[in-house]
Homo-oligomer: A and B are copies of this chain.
Amino acid sequence: MSANPFPLNISIILVQPQMGENIGAAARAMKNFSITDLRIVSPRDGWPNEKAKNMSVGALEIIEKAKIYNSVSDSIENLEYVYAASAAPRDMNKNYILSRDLANDIIDYKHVGIMFGRENSGLNNEEISYANKIVTIDTDVNFSSLNIAHAVAVICYELFQGIKQNRVGLSNIQELATHGDLEYFFGHLFNILEQNSFFRTKDKKAYMKLKIRNLFNRIDRLSKQEVQTLRGILTNLTKNK
């Protein structure tokens, strides 16, 4: 994160991107707006990718330093707050904002991530359940499918406004929980629920996990302390059984 002189760190996460050209173009757009941390979950054509390098133009170091992950969960482990870039809120109980309001929304965080889905199908509901909020780029309702690099460009453009604001603001905030902290809690919780036969069928299990993730991820500015409290409650309830 050395290229970012501001206290706000931002990570761009591409989930299963298909074309190397788009990864390269996305990296270039990131650099235009002072964002340098690129994370890629299971790129279709493997990694490293020559086409990604060629399209990145002056942003080659972003491609070379990109981190590769096997799961969404791993890719966001150390982030405090994660947005899923998606055309429209799905049929799930999930907060969303328009990209226009993104800069004001991130101002209280120190490390934020934005997830982008595949070129042809975006992010699926399970992936979205890992995010705290959906961010939607307001488009023509009849033609809302953006090129992925264009979407990254627009979002990074908006984030840049937040980076600039953040340069001045941001004073002694409490230590926020990362997604890893919360995932640790989920692991604990899901384990217990499993033992208690809470999940009737395999289908039901995936669906319920998704609902539970969405529920807890809607809690804004969850602190490390609060996650510890949640884990304490869980431990306590288990003991009393």
Residues of A within 8 A of B (CB): 25, 28-29, 31-34, 57-59, 100, 137-140, 143-147, 149-150, 153-154, 157, 160-161
Contact = CB atoms under 8 A, between A and B. Distances in A.
A150 B31 contact: no
Number of chain copies forming the complex: 2
Contacts of A157: 137, 154, 157
Contacts of A144: 32
Given A32-B140, A140-B34, A25 B150 contact: yes
Contact of A28 (B28, B147, B161): B147
Contact of A33 (B57, B59, B139): B139
A79 to B, nearest CB: 22
Contact of A147 (B29, B140, B160): B29
Which of A58, A144, A150, A161 has the most chain B CB atoms closer than 10 A to its own CB? A150
A150 B29 contact: yes
A139 B33 CA distance: 5
B150 A138 contact: no
Nearest to A137: B157
13 contacts: A29-B147, A29-B150, A31-B140, A32-B139, A33-B139, A34-B140, A57-B147, A59-B143, A138-B161, A139-B160, A147-B149, A150-B150, A150-B153
